[in-house]
Chain A
Amino acid sequence: MGRGGKKGTVTPRELNPSPRLKRGPKMGKRRKMKRKKKKTDMEELKKEVVLVRTPPPSLVLLLRSGLSIRPWFLSTQGLSPERAQEILKKNGPNALTPPPTTPEWVKFCRQLFGGFSILLWIGAILCFLAYGIQVHYKEDSTKDNLYLGMVLAIVVMITGCFSYYQEAKSSKIMESFRNMVPQQALVIRAGEKMQINVEDVVVGDLVEVKGGDRIPADLRLISTQGCKVDNSSLTGESEPQTRSPDFTHENPLETRNICFFSTNCVEGTARGIVIATGDSTVMGRIATLTSGLVVGKTPIAAEIEHFIQLITGVAGFLGVSFFVLSLILGYGWLEAVIFLIGIIVANVPEGLLATVTVCLTLTAKRMSRKNCLVKNLEAVETLGSTSTICSDKTGTLTQNRMTVAHMWFDKTIYEADTSEEQTGKTFAKGSTTWFILARIAALCNRADFKPNQETLPIAKRATTGDASESALLKFIEQSYSSVEEMREQNPKVAEIPFNSTNKYQMSIHLQEDGSQAHVLMMKGAPERILEFCSTYLLKGKEYPMDDEMKKNFQNAYLELGGLGERVLGFCFLNLPSTFSKGFRFNTDEINFPMENLCFVGLISMIDPPRAAVPDAVGKCRSAGIKVIMVTGDHPITAKAIAKGVGIISEGNETAEDMAARLQVPVSQTNPREAKAIVVHGSDLKDMTSEQLDEILKNHTEIVFARTSPQQKLIIVEGCQRQGAVVAVTGDGVNDSPALKKADIGIAMGISGSDVSKQAADMILLDDNFASIVTGVEEGRLIFDNLKKSIAYTLTSNIPEITPFLLFIILSIPLPLGTITILCIDLGTDMVPAISLAYESAESDIMKRAPRNPKNDNLVNNRLIGMAYGQIGMIQALAGFFTYFVILAENGFKPIDLLGIRLNWEDRFFNDLEDSYGQQWTYEQRKVLEFTCQTAFFVSIVVVQWADLIICKTRRNSVFQQGMKNNILIFGIMEETFLAAFLSYTPGMDVALRMYPLKLPWWLCAIPYSVLIFVYDEIRKLTIRRHPGGWLERETYY
């Protein structure tokens, strides 16, 4: 595996602009070879992108770009339009090949024939087969099998259309995210600047980008002016990064002279040569990797498969045994085959597919209201099975907003308010030092609010400028006074902007007191600032810098830095009167004093955790879900945030912490003792998969820092090797392989790139980690509730099958017909089964471990045993009781019914005698039979009341759970009214052959209903009394 190898280097071949050409000569070779080649390609893609050294001019690049031997990298002419056209023809347009989107009809067919549907299809086909046999061998056969087959087919099709529609709706929402505006790029061809479509950009083009542009292709920069790019979509690094023509790093993602396709230029301008376009760009390679990943089955799909196996097993067993039995009883082969098919089909729970789909849809709706947009229905449950969450830090766990966290002045550390709503504490604002500190922070600051946002709270306003300066700006605006006024009163006269060599920023302002004097203000890296200072400010008074102060400074700096915060130092100097108003400051050749400044204080900033995250992480912990932080940030910051949100819990320490505490070198500590670990990306790079497994196994609290997003894929695979169901969050393009590989990929709705949203199964509309946890809760709840729904639905299968079985072996008139069965499965059972999706959890579902997909199944033998073997049997008794009561009431005593079938079914036997000597015509008997079937149906409805109530809970008593589920109460009413409607509506005797019932016949099943309720309450009571006891082991599903 790629991750096992040493630092993966990608040869120039990998940057070949035309993968098609590369494969060209190999096409003719044997298939096996090709497959192998493809596999190694995939492995190659998984590796870090490491370019060859790129100090220009790279000869390879030169040749490949198809340029003349002129020093092209200095060219200002660019390609000739003809040459560009040629290259475009050869390499194709500069666009990512969209992942092979499944055609709509394939998606539709998948809905139509996937998973559960296949069971119903088989049922339908069997029905048609049975009907065919009947038609072929008997002239006057009933059309029941034909109708049943058609109903099955229609049910599958309707449900298929429904789920297809649901998914199509989610993907429509997806599409709305997509930016449809065609992008333009500014290229220089034959010395002329021209706007062309990004698609037409070719390798070798000279391209100009400016702030706000999207980079049109992978660029090797040749000149820049204050250029900064936002690579967050690629690397996850949220800070804009400086770009210059200098080669600074071996890693192409780190070196400054390369800009990447589809990242953004934030400010400045740059000019560069296109080195790769379309699929051969770094972005394109990732997209290719993503679409090439094989994704496993979703847990719910596996569960449904398991369920189908169980049901098929039961159906097959019943079918075959009654096939044999009917042969023994003397039925003909043909009849026996019809019976076999009938029994198998009777086992198909017609309504369950629709129920499951609706339940999942309802939960998906509920989730999207809680900001989790689920792209495919099955992901709803996957989230519930999640046992590991690999979360991004920036934006997901944190607010993605640099915020002032601490200040140090007057030798004291003050805490600033970092909460999202700015409702926290205040600090000593009375100090003069604070006044000066605030002024420096406000004036020596290039950030500004964007216009027209006065109505927004300060913290939410958009700003120009980098994150730290914006943080300072907002902080001062919030806790001091209007920065704009301050700046008006103290106009800036000179400035040295921040750069990475100086590590400070200086500006000179006119004093506001009218003294015409100037003040020099400076901020920057604390150690740099301290070098400029000879005095310090304490409670508004200046003192000479001494060792004690320096020590205090060091301690404060260390403490704040240790919190993972970015620390800035602030100082100032009142310029002497010689530099009063009118003096022309020269910042290139400094003509003013810039030493012996007065140190004021430190301000530290952090991207603070979101308010809801610590709770959410705590919930995950109690829910047995491992939260792993994967971030591109520095280990210290990552660890600080991890501690802040509880990913590293209080009291747990890393090996380094332990070493520090015990004052021994890290090598002497036992890394196994440390529960927490912070893994550095560069270490991860050199790890074998066994080493990674070791880490994942032995540490409960893991932070991966400084990781490249590709390493996420490796981490995800590592977790999956441990058998975990992994949820991964990601926003960058580079995250998309991990998102796809994960059991559930979660893309960020706000900050996420389109590609990541495409690859993900779920989109977090508010980017908030806490929403994932609510999603997990919903997912777990629906799993529990689906169990209940299925238990409820399956139970009525027994009173539906047994009539047919007894019809065969006892030769009694058929107690329940196909139509009535369908009325139950697709009519009365539907709403109650769905209403169980609204059931609230029995206990705190977030306090138990995630389910083990291996042995905690949706449908297990115990569920089937309870539904079929126990409750179902009682229900069947209820039905038969009603059936025999009605027949007896009409003159047919049960004993006389045995073996009556042949005479009963004889159309020309019109004076069949009953137990009292009355004589019945065929039609009169049939009316009686259908009345009995209606009554049997009504009895099932009556016993399903009790079944619904007992299915509300699996362990608790109904009295503990309460009857708060209004949908469920509605369900009971609905099924009752529907049953009454079907029985009493005039014309039903013709339409569905259902007949009105005498009121007392409704009551026949009531005792059985009570029995079911009492029986199950006792069972649950015993389970509660004897946890882990025999009854629980045998019957708790």
Chain B
Amino acid sequence: MTKKEKRSFNQSLAEWKLFIYNPTTGEFLGRTAKSWGLTVFPKPVTALEYSFTVSDPESYKGYIEDLRKFLKPYESEEQKNLTACSDGALFEQKGPVYSACQFPLPLLQACSGVDDPDFGYSRGSPCVLVKMNRIIGLKPQGMPRIECTSKSENTATLSTYPFNGVIDLKYFPYYGKKLHVSYLQPLVAVQVSFNATSSTTNEVTVECKIDGSPNLKNQDDRDKFLGRVVFKVIARA
């Protein structure tokens, strides 16, 4: 083999190396790093459509029960063994014992179920929880928050709790089911309040997205749940 050939071989090898792992984009063999999936809670019977009648408690009883069950681990009684971590920074741990941060239920304010055991359903302004899928080792950059918008602005106003839909960095990274026992994933609640109460049926489509974090995607052609979620609320009088 001549020298020249060797050099070009080395060059192409370098190109290959770049392809296999690109340190600037964090791509491995062309694969991108993982990202959060957003899901909503409670799970509606029909795909992502919360439909209920305000005057009929039976129609939303299921939602309320699901929410209560889901929020059980978040009650202060359950959280007393967890660490009260400092806000605004990643909570990186070296082990061997990993502690979980507290997520005080009152953060969810009107949707915490503390003041309103019906989570707003009986008043026609239902609460929906938006949660981030747990992914081991994922460290969000910047100030991640959940931004929710209604497709038709006039019909409803959206309130997000905690304030501004902020997700605190202290809940990350996640170390897995076995190591990170009783880990509580941070939640964001969205409350839909319809403006026109006169009409019999109110309907709104809500889109929630992760915002404020450069390494968290919220736009994927194929995955409609990557960093975003869309749901519809139909409240009959």
Spell out A's residues near B (CB within 8 Å).
891, 907-908, 910-911, 913, 915-924, 984, 986, 995-999
Which of A908, A911, A917, A996 is close to B177, meaning CB atoms less than 8 Å apart?
A: A917
Which of A918, A995, A996, A997 is close to B136, meaning CB atoms less than 8 Å apart?
A: A918
Task: Judge if B33 is at the interface, Cβ distance under 8 Å.
Answer: no
Which A residues are in CB contact (< 8 Å) with B133? 910-911, 918-921
Which A residues are in CB contact (< 8 Å) with B43? 908
B176 x A923 contact (CB < 8 A): no
What residue of chain B has the Cβ atom nearest to residue A908's Cβ? B47
Rounded to whole angstroms, the CA-CA distance of A995 and B220 in the bound complex is 16
Task: Judge if B135 is at the interface, Cβ distance under 8 Å.
Answer: yes
B30 x A984 contact (CB < 8 A): yes
* Interface of chain A, main secondary structure: loop
Q: How far is the CB of A257 from chain B (nearest CB, A)?
A: 84
B220 x A923 contact (CB < 8 A): yes
Q: In the complex where A917-B176, A997-B29 touch, is A910 in contact with B225 (Cβ < 8 A)? A: yes
B135 x A919 contact (CB < 8 A): yes
Rounded to whole angstroms, the CA-CA distance of A996 and B30 in the bound complex is 7
Which of B28, B131, B223, B229 is close to A924, meaning CB atoms less than 8 Å apart?
A: B223
Which B residues are in CB contact (< 8 Å) with A921? 37, 39, 133, 223, 225-226
Known contacts A916-B177, A917-B177, A986-B30, then 9 further A-B pairs from the complex at CB < 8 Å, ordered by chain A residue: A908-B43, A917-B136, A918-B136, A918-B176, A921-B226, A923-B220, A923-B224, A984-B19, A995-B31
Task: Judge if B94 is at the interface, Cβ distance under 8 Å.
Answer: no
Rounded to whole angstroms, the CA-CA distance of A997 and B29 in the bound complex is 7
What residue of chain B has the Cβ atom nearest to residue A995's Cβ? B31
Which of A908, A911, A986 is close to B37, meaning CB atoms less than 8 Å apart?
A: A911
What residue of chain B has the Cβ atom nearest to residue A983's Cβ? B29
Which B residues are in CB contact (< 8 Å) with A920? 37, 133
- The 24 sampled A-B contact pairs (Cβ below 8 Å) are A907-B47, A908-B47, A915-B177, A916-B136, A916-B176, A916-B178, A917-B134, A917-B176, A917-B177, A917-B180, A917-B183, A918-B136, A919-B39, A919-B133, A919-B135, A921-B223, A921-B225, A921-B226, A922-B223, A923-B225, A924-B34, A995-B31, A996-B30, A997-B29
A998 x B29 contact (CB < 8 A): yes
Q: How far is the CB of B28 from chain A (nearest CB, A)?
A: 7
B30 x A919 contact (CB < 8 A): no
Which A residues are in CB contact (< 8 Å) with B174? 917-918
Rounded to whole angstroms, the CA-CA distance of A919 and B37 in the bound complex is 8
Which of A907, A919, A922, A995 is close to B134, meaning CB atoms less than 8 Å apart?
A: A919
Can you list the 9 inter-chain pairs with the closest CB atoms, starting with the nearest?
A917-B177, A923-B223, A919-B133, A921-B37, A921-B225, A996-B29, A916-B176, A911-B39, A910-B225
Which A residues are in CB contact (< 8 Å) with B176? 916-918
Q: How far is the CB of B134 from chain A (nearest CB, A)?
A: 5
What residue of chain B has the Cβ atom nearest to residue A907's Cβ? B47
Q: How far is the CB of B37 from chain A (nearest CB, A)?
A: 4
Task: Judge if B158 is at the interface, Cβ distance under 8 Å.
Answer: no
A interface footprint on B181-195 (CB within 8 Å = 1, 0 otherwise): 001000000000000
Rounded to whole angstroms, the CA-CA distance of A816 and B177 in the bound complex is 29
Which B residues are in CB contact (< 8 Å) with A924? 34, 37, 223, 226
B33-73 CB contacts (< 8 Å) to partner A: 34, 37-39, 43, 47-48
Which B residues are in CB contact (< 8 Å) with A907? 47
A923 x B131 contact (CB < 8 A): no
Rounded to whole angstroms, the CA-CA distance of A784 and B34 in the bound complex is 52
Task: Judge if B7 is at the interface, Cβ distance under 8 Å.
Answer: no
Which B residues are in CB contact (< 8 Å) with A986? 30
A-B pairs under 8 A by CB, number: 73
Q: How far is the CB of B146 from chain A (nearest CB, A)?
A: 15
Task: Judge if B222 is at the interface, Cβ distance under 8 Å.
Answer: yes
A interface footprint on B201-231 (CB within 8 Å = 1, 0 otherwise): 0000000000000000000101111100100
Q: How far is the CB of B6 from chain A (nearest CB, A)?
A: 22
Rounded to whole angstroms, the CA-CA distance of A633 and B183 in the bound complex is 103
What residue of chain B has the Cβ atom nearest to residue A988's Cβ? B30
Task: Judge if B20 is at the interface, Cβ distance under 8 Å.
Answer: yes
Which B residues are in CB contact (< 8 Å) with A919? 37, 39, 133-135
Q: In the complex where A911-B37, A923-B220 touch, is A996 in contact with B31 (Cβ < 8 A)? A: yes
Rounded to whole angstroms, the CA-CA distance of A317 and B34 in the bound complex is 44
Q: How far is the CB of B67 from chain A (nearest CB, A)?
A: 15
Rounded to whole angstroms, the CA-CA distance of A986 and B223 in the bound complex is 18
Which B residues are in CB contact (< 8 Å) with A918? 133-136, 174, 176
Which A residues are in CB contact (< 8 Å) with B177? 915-917
Q: How far is the CB of B48 from chain A (nearest CB, A)?
A: 7
Which A residues are in CB contact (< 8 Å) with B34? 924
Rounded to whole angstroms, the CA-CA distance of A995 and B27 in the bound complex is 13
Which A residues are in CB contact (< 8 Å) with B29? 984, 996-999
Rounded to whole angstroms, the CA-CA distance of A916 and B174 in the bound complex is 10
Which of A922, A984, A997, A999 is close to B225, meaning CB atoms less than 8 Å apart?
A: A922
Q: In the complex where A923-B225, A986-B30 touch, is A911 in contact with B131 (Cβ < 8 A)? A: yes
What residue of chain A has the Cβ atom nearest to residue B181's Cβ? A917
Which B residues are in CB contact (< 8 Å) with A913? 134
Q: How far is the CB of A142 from chain B (nearest CB, A)?
A: 15
Which A residues are in CB contact (< 8 Å) with B31? 995-996
What residue of chain A has the Cβ atom nearest to residue B177's Cβ? A917
Rounded to whole angstroms, the CA-CA distance of A290 and B31 in the bound complex is 68
B129-153 CB contacts (< 8 Å) to partner A: 131, 133-136
Rounded to whole angstroms, the CA-CA distance of A924 and B220 in the bound complex is 11
Rounded to whole angstroms, the CA-CA distance of A921 and B39 in the bound complex is 8
Q: How far is the CB of A927 from chain B (nearest CB, A)?
A: 8
Rounded to whole angstroms, the CA-CA distance of A916 and B176 in the bound complex is 5
What residue of chain A has the Cβ atom nearest to residue B222's Cβ? A923
